[in-house]
């Protein structure tokens, strides 16, 4: 199953597809190469459908695909007409501009109005355009729908929301040539879909890269980027929750509270003295509600109090629909609690903790680690970061691997820093994206720390993670 399925799931939404494209670019596979392959695929599929072709070309990347298709069809000896209803200065991509010039030099005829043809190819509106199409695309879609010709859409029909399939006005395609993976909006049209491989390497799908840092934009009001509580610490382990909390704050959480027995001096963080399940003069649940917490990181350094506290945290999270990160000691007691987490949580086990979560001994083989990550995700209804030389991130039917990091990240506290970063990112994004971005960013930060300082201490990770998170816009 793991060899045959797409690692990131069967359907790629707009953000997932963009992530894979950015990962491909970082591996040396350019946008221009992918556009050339996409257009060539469309031409190959379209050539058997007629002798004359009208290609409706937009000003974005999809328009570039259409121009490549026009050039290839012309070189095959077909009659090709391109209708580009915009000014050339409106073209958004350099690759599209290049392919406009190439099409002009390849025998393609440019027309100024809708013209009869055996086949109409829709290269107007791509995944970045949502809502009702505007002029001139609107009129061209309407004319195409009224005309008796074979209709081919590139990637998805113009006018369709790629993630939902909604459309007020859509190009009525007989055939859809979608790129690399079908979009969720095409789920009900798969009998019309051909998937074209455009040169994206398998590694861009299967491994994390800079594209996986494409988090949702930050909110503009205090608290909109997460009010995080880190619950942990004990007589034996005093520093763990503070490392986690400081990592959460530096990674972008707006407010971070530390519920722990022992105080340390970090002016950015808000301390609440915790004694067992009591916080100051309140119960743990009362304190969380008073502080309006919407993300809880529980487990770092919790030791002997883990069972009772984790149980109460899970009850509160279920009642209040709060996101969770379970780490360290809270992971050890999770099988005893036996609670499903409703896909609102991220678990961060190493191999030993994963073995306890599943109740079976695990080896470090890649195949077994991937299967274990999927099994943990299914068993507890949570996203999983299974830490190791090659990290595994799994969530529902999706899985991806990570090779950033190095052997210096075995030092104490790096796992606490990771749990805090996950907590911060859960304050602004869904668990799958928070888990992916954290795993890549923390590993990349470890590489930078060793290169610049010769070590990958938690302090260096905490300082470096924000720079990595901001490296992709």
Pairing of β 278-279 and β 282-283: antiparallel
**Residue 327 annotated in ligand binding:** no
φ/ψ bin of 363: left (φ > 0), alpha (ψ from -120 to 50), beta (otherwise): beta
**Which of residues 171, 200, 229 is at a domain's end?**
200
Provide DSSP, 92-109. --HHHHHHHHHHHTTTPE
Classify residue 9: in a domain, yes or no. Answer: no
CB atoms within 10 A of CB 7: 17
Low-confidence ranges of the chain (pLDDT < 50): 1-5
Same domain, 432 and 331: yes
Length of the chain: 473
**Residue 118 annotated in ligand binding:** no
Same domain, 222 and 296: yes
Domain range for 35 is 31-200
Are 386 and 369 contacting, i.e. CB atoms less than 8 angstroms apart? yes
Structural domain count, the chain: 2
Classify residue 23: in a domain, yes or no. Answer: no
Q: Domain holding 86: CATH number?
A: 3.40.50.10260
Classify residue 44: in a domain, yes or no. Answer: yes
Same domain, 162 and 297: no
**Residue 26 annotated in ligand binding:** no
The reply to whether omega before 136 is within 30° of 0 (cis) is: yes
Classify residue 16: in a domain, yes or no. Answer: no
**Residue 66 annotated in ligand binding:** no
**Residue 283 annotated in ligand binding:** no
Q: How far apart are CA 446 and CA 461, in angstroms?
A: 6
**Which of residues 169, 200, 231 is at a domain's end?**
200
Same domain, 188 and 322: no
Same domain, 163 and 243: no
Residue 74 structure tokens? 């012309």
Classify residue 152: in a domain, yes or no. Answer: yes
Q: Domain holding 440: CATH number?
A: 3.40.1190.20
Residue 303 structure tokens? 């030791």
Pairing of β 391-395 and β 398-402: antiparallel
Same domain, 178 and 263: no
**Residue 130 annotated in ligand binding:** yes
Q: Which residues of 345-361 are buried (b: 16+ CB within 10 A; e: fewer)?
A: bbbbbebebbebbbeee
**Residue 126 annotated in ligand binding:** yes
What is the pTM for the complete model shown?
0.94
Same domain, 162 and 229: no
- 94-104 vs 61-75: helix crossing angle, rounded to 10: 20
Same domain, 231 and 353: yes
**Residue 131 annotated in ligand binding:** yes
**Residue 129 annotated in ligand binding:** yes
Nearest CA to 423 out of 223, 253, 243 is that of 253
Same domain, 170 and 296: no
Same domain, 47 and 89: yes
Classify residue 171: in a domain, yes or no. Answer: yes
Classify residue 379: in a domain, yes or no. Answer: yes
**Residue 132 annotated in ligand binding:** yes
Same domain, 334 and 445: yes
Same domain, 115 and 65: yes
Give the phi and the psi of residue 195 in degrees, each rounded to 5.
-95, 120
Classify residue 52: in a domain, yes or no. Answer: yes
**Which of residues 200, 233, 264 is at a domain's end?**
200
Q: Identify the bridge partners of residue 194 per DSSP, sorted by sequence position.
A: 177
């Amino acid at each position: 199953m793991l060899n045959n399925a797409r690692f990131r799931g069967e359907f790629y939404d707009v953000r997932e597809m963009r992530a894979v494209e950015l990962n491909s670019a970082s591996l040396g596979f350019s946008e221009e190469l992918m556009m050339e392959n996409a257009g060539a695929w469309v031409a190959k599929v379209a050539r058997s459908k007629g002798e004359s072709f009208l290609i409706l070309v937009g000003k974005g990347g999809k328009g570039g695909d259409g121009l490549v298709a026009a050039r290839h069809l012309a070189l095959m000896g077909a009659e090709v007409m391109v209708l580009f209803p915009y000014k050339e200065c409106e073209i958004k991509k350099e690759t599209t501009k290049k392919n406009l010039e190439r099409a002009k030099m390849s025998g393609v005829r440019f027309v100024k109005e809708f013209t009869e043809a055996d086949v109409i190819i829709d290269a107007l509106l791509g995944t970045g355009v949502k809502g009702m199409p505007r002029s001139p695309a609107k009129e061209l879609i309407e004319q195409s729908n009224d005309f008796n010709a074979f209709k081919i859409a590139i990637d998805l029909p113009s006018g369709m929301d790629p993630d939902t399939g909604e459309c007020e006005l859509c190009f009525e395609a007989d055939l859809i040539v979608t790129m690399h993976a079908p979009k969720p909006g095409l789920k009900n049209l798969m009998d019309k879909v051909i998937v074209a491989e455009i040169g994206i390497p398998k590694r861009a799908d299967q491994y994390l890269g800079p594209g996986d840092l494409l988090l949702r934009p930050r909110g503009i009001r205090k608290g909109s980027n997460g009010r995080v509580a880190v619950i942990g610490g004990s007589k034996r382990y005093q520093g763990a929750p503070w490392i986690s909390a400081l990592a959460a704050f530096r990674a972008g959480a707006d407010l971070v509270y530390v519920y722990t027995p022992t105080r340390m001096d970090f002016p950015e963080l808000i301390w609440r003295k915790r004694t067992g399940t009591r916080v100051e003069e309140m119960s743990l649940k009362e304190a969380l509600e008073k502080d309006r917490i919407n993300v809880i990181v529980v487990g770092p350094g919790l030791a002997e109090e883990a069972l009772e506290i984790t149980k109460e945290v899970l009850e509160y999270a279920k009642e209040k629909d709060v996101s969770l990160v379970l780490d360290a000691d809270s992971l050890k007691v999770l099988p005893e609690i036996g609670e499903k987490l409703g896909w609102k949580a991220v678990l961060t086990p190493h191999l030993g903790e994963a073995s306890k979560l599943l109740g079976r001994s695990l080896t470090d083989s890649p195949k077994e680690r991937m299967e274990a990550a999927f099994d943990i995700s299914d068993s507890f209804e949570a996203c999983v970061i299974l830490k190791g030389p090659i990290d595994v991130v799994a969530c529902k039917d999706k899985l991806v691997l990570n090779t950033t990091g190095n052997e210096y990240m075995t030092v104490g506290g790096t796992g606490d820093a990771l749990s805090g970063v996950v907590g911060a990112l859960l304050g602004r994004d869904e668990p799958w994206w928070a888990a992916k971005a954290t795993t890549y960013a923390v590993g990349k930060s470890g590489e930078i720390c060793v290169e610049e300082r010769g070590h990958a201490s938690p302090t260096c990770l905490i300082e470096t993670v924000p720079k990595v998170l901001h490296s992709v816009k």
